[in-house]
Amino acid sequence: MKKGIIAIIMIALAILFSEHFHSFSVGFTLAIVAVSCGYLIAYQAIRRPQYAMSFLVVAALAKLAITITGVIWVFSADIIHSPLTFLVAYALFSVIITYVVSRYRAHRRDISDQQQREIFHTGLYEELK
């Protein structure tokens, strides 16, 4: 149901903003790049938990830097014609990509949990074959 609602919203927005396609596509692309880089850095905290806070701060700063650089570049190059369309596309796709990435991580975690089991409540795990 959620996937259907997301698909309908994306198609409706694409139709509504078809006159300002450049603004819509630039907002969409900038959201994908910023959120993806942020999550790529933030999920490194899973591998190194002692640096979790550092990774989260660096991820937030990277997302902010990419967003600011992208917005400055887009406005200085006069690529977009409708700032409102750009803003709506960026905000919506940031939320959608965040949802998709978090669902993907939850799905991967569920698969990983099914492939291992705890050994005698010791906190150690073995892989199931």
Q: What is the pLDDT of residues 6-52, one digit of tens each?
A: 788 878 877 777 777 778 788 888 989 998 898 888 888 778 888 88
Q: What is the pLDDT of residue 65?
A: 95
The alpha carbon torsion through 71, 66, 42, 48 (nearest 10 deg) reads -170
User: Do 93 and 67 contact (CB within 8 A), yes or no?
Assistant: no
Q: What is the pLDDT of residue 68?
A: 93
Cα–Cα nearest to 67, from 97, 99, 101, 26: 26
What is the chain's length? 129
Confirm whether pTM is higher than 0.75: no
Q: How confident is the model at residue 127 (pLDDT cuts 50, 70, 90)?
A: low
Euclidean distance between CA atoms 98 and 32, whole angstroms: 9
Euclidean distance between CA atoms 9 and 6, whole angstroms: 5
What is the rounded average pLDDT of the residues 55-63? Answer: 92
Read off the DSSP letter of residue 46.
G
Residue 77 DSSP SS3: coil
Which residues are CB-contacts of 96 (< 8 A; sequence separation ≥ 6)?
A: 6, 10
Q: How confident is the model at residue 59 (pLDDT cuts 50, 70, 90)?
A: very high
